[in-house]
A and B are shown apart, each in its own frame.
Chain A
Amino acid sequence: MRELKILAVVVFFSLLTYYLVEPYAHHAMHMKVDAEGKEIKIESHGFTYDGTDDIAEAERKGDAALVAKKKAFWSDVVAVSKMTGNAAAGEAVFANCIGCHNGANINMGGVIPPNLDHSGAIYDKNYLIALIKDPAMASNVDHKYADTSMHPMGSIKYTVSDNQQIADVVAYMLEHKAGEVTPKEAFTEACVRCHAVRYTQTTQLGDTPKFKHEKDALAHKIKVIEEQDMVKAYMGNLPPDLSMMIRARGDHFMETFIENPQGQLAGTSMPRVGLNHEGYEKVKEYLTEAGDPSKKAREELGPWVIGFFIIFSILAFLWKKAMWRDHH
């Protein structure tokens, strides 16, 4: 039938144009290439961490010493992760941590040390081990530090240096600092020390309280600005507000970026935060609630509206048939 042939032509050229300007162009635009122009595939590892990306990056830089250092570091991490940790012994080690990770919201060396209440639930085990061994190496920002003990948490190397101690404290966290975690808790612990979310009235200092007097509100605002200035001085730039981030970046970017910021944005000062799959899902849920709260309503309403127009089209077709009867 002629009309269907014409329809096929129209659909073909429309889809071809769509393919070229959307999937194909975006792939070409965001493609990362190495020095020889070969494509670097950036893939998610399912929120597990064994240094694969870090070693590959060092190899691409052609820095043999760095490659060796990264390899040694991550193979140590894997070795520790195979050790049996003693949670009871880990509790004593953990006392070292809460000196800084005390929930007092006080900036130390550039950022506020995050609360660790759900650290066993939202962070990956390997990552926790790596972080305690060497925070700058674990978060893949060692290029920022000539000596990685200069990292704000760098002194951990000297307080918790024994592999058994690391295994113990991680076992403690996985056992006692886990449990149910809400999206808000996960987001606050993992992201808020650097990122504000103005659509949920969240700043680098956490939730903005309700103030009765304008004076108090302004005083709080000044505290926020001071905190932001410190973060800015430490990071080089104020990390972006994440209110609309869920709409501004695609799933693939979010997953790979959070796993390894350097992969998507080479040279960024954002550290790897080491979220595990559950932690990432919670953070994503929080960001969706902030930047795309109508997602659920949208996906639920869709079938009804589309269904309406399908029925509409069927009725319209019958009307058309009736109108055109005897015309041919």
Chain B
Amino acid sequence: MAHFEKANNLNEWLDQRIGLNTLKKVMQTEYWIPKDINFLWAMGMVLAATFGILVVSGIFLLMYYKPDTNLAFDSVNYTIMSEVGYGWLWRHIHGIGASIVFLIIYIHMFTGIYYGSYKRGRELIWLSGMGLFVAFSAEAFSGYMLPWGQMSYWAGMVITNLFSGGSLEAYGLVEWIRGDYVPGDAYLTRFFMLHVFLIPLVIIGLIVLHFGSLRLPHVNNQEGAEIDFEEAAELYKAGKVKESKVIPFSPVFLSKDVFVMGVYFVLFFYLVFYNFNFAMDPVNFDPADGLKTPAHIYPEWYFLWSYEILRPFSKDVGLIAFGIAQAALFFLPFIDRSPNVAPAHKRGLFQVWFWVLLVDMIVLTAMGKLPPTDPVFAFIGLVSAVLFLLMGPALFIITLFEKKLEKGA
């Protein structure tokens, strides 16, 4: 039995039992963040806040949602939207949150790529982050099934069909996933379970890993400068905050995060109240009907770029290209052979590579939604898909020949 003194207050009581003061130091007041950052560094906390909002709004929706093909549509569109007090607000928040979280994820990812924040000790941050991207994608897809509208049904049909593996014709696997020949009750209840339990659990685990993998290598900074965190911390603690290159996570870094979050929520709630169709597709307000295929079936905007890598090729080639595209970004830290951790504008050809990647993904996103029956769109789609696949080898070659930068330049 360890020795315990009588505690004078709650803080002491907790400190004796769970090391509260140490926790505070490790996670807040002495968690050192470089000072040389911009608002893009707040995207992590913005994502955490959005995830929190998705969990809270999801809990409210879960109280009234009914996972049954006969009841699901009306439980969402009638019970939640018009009978439950403020049910419409929670649903709109959940719908907008699910869509806008991907915008922030993409900004967060491109920030990481631009500043080289996936290299030299930070590989695990990138890998866990990509894991989160995949888990969020699965969460978004499974959630999209739940209102059981036309797009839920037909998008579900198309995506589960991918598992037939093209010419492998593994329809047995597709039926096994669906629990039926077509999406039906078993399918809906499975995706319901995944959406409200298993995937959120995985996401929470990955968030812990993501944060954990950040603690030792520390957050990157605008110049990619190597910082002696211990020395800088001593300087800060000695009161020389101006000379020190670091700031504590709480409250200094957090104060900026909170400001960025405030601005973000102005946009967020503008979308919730006034501009929600991009996230809550009108087509999905038609109930699922297995006998009536919609004129256009398309995924939500955040899946469009990878959808467009699948679409312009023949069946099997498309599936392989799609598979490569899904996995490729995971390997970024290992494809990039450059010795430099520096912002793209200091890395020569890498900067060109970065902007080509960004523009190519936006073009793919646009072409993924435009009707492929138009030969011009189909051609642009094909070119940008091939370009995307070439970006990996291009990065390898570019970075292999990248010169080491003089530090302190």
Contacts and interface: CB of A to CB of B under 8 A. Distances in A.
Interface of A: 2-3, 6-7, 10, 13-14, 16-18, 20-22, 24-25, 28-29, 198-199, 240, 243-245, 247-250, 291-294, 297-299, 301-302, 305-306, 309-310, 312-313, 316-317, 319-320, 322-324, 326-328
A241 to B, nearest CB: 8
B374 A28 contact: yes
Contacts of B258: 316, 319-320
Contact of B265 (A199, A250, A293, A309): A309
Contacts of B203: none
B247 A29 contact: no
A326 B242 contact: yes
B227 interface: no
Contacts of B247: 327
Q: Give the size range of B's interface with the partner.
A: 35 or more
17 contacts: A10-B40, A17-B301, A22-B277, A28-B374, A29-B295, A29-B369, A29-B371, A199-B77, A244-B286, A302-B269, A302-B272, A306-B266, A309-B266, A316-B262, A322-B255, A323-B251, A324-B252
Given A20-B365, A301-B273, A199 B82 contact: yes
B283 interface: yes
B197 interface: no
A328 B37 CA distance: 12
B362 interface: yes
A96 to B, nearest CB: 40
B211 interface: no
B370 A302 contact: no
B92 interface: yes
Given A3-B38, A306-B273, A309-B265, A248 B286 contact: yes
A293 B251 CA distance: 43
A293 B83 CA distance: 9
Contacts of A10: 40, 107
Contacts, number: 140
B266 A6 contact: no
Contacts of B171: none
Interface in B266-302: 266, 269-270, 272-274, 277-278, 282-283, 285-287, 295-296, 301
Given A293-B82, A327-B241, A317 B259 contact: yes
A221 B259 CA distance: 58
A16 B362 contact: yes
Given A16-B362, A306-B273, A316 B255 contact: yes
A312 B262 contact: yes
Interface in B15-50: 35, 38-40
A238 to B, nearest CB: 11
B103 A14 contact: yes
Contacts of A3: 38-39
B320 to A, nearest CB: 26
B358 interface: yes
B102 to A, nearest CB: 11
B266 A243 contact: no
A7 B369 CA distance: 27
Chain A at the B interface: SS class:
helix
Between A299, A316, A328, the greatest number of chain B beta carbons within 10 A of the residue's beta carbon is seen for A316
A313 B262 contact: yes
Nearest to A317: B259
A67 to B, nearest CB: 28
Given A25-B366, A312-B265, 9 more contacts: A24-B366, A25-B369, A28-B374, A245-B285, A297-B88, A301-B89, A302-B272, A306-B270, A327-B252
A68 to B, nearest CB: 33
B256 interface: yes
B78 A199 contact: yes
B304 interface: yes
B301 A21 contact: yes
Contacts of B282: 247-250
A319 B107 CA distance: 25
Nearest to A293: B82
B255 A320 contact: yes
B38 A2 contact: yes
Interface string B365-392: 1100111001001000000000000000
A2 B370 CA distance: 35
B155 to A, nearest CB: 15
Contacts of A24: 366, 370
A61 B157 CA distance: 36
A20 B259 CA distance: 30
Given A22-B278, A244-B285, A316-B262, A324 B256 contact: yes
B409 interface: no
A17 B282 CA distance: 19
B397 to A, nearest CB: 26
Nearest to A24: B366
B138 interface: no
Nearest to A319: B255
B262 A309 contact: yes
B196 interface: no
B269 A28 contact: no
A294 B265 contact: no
A7 B39 contact: yes
A29 B241 CA distance: 57
Nearest to A29: B296
B371 A28 contact: yes
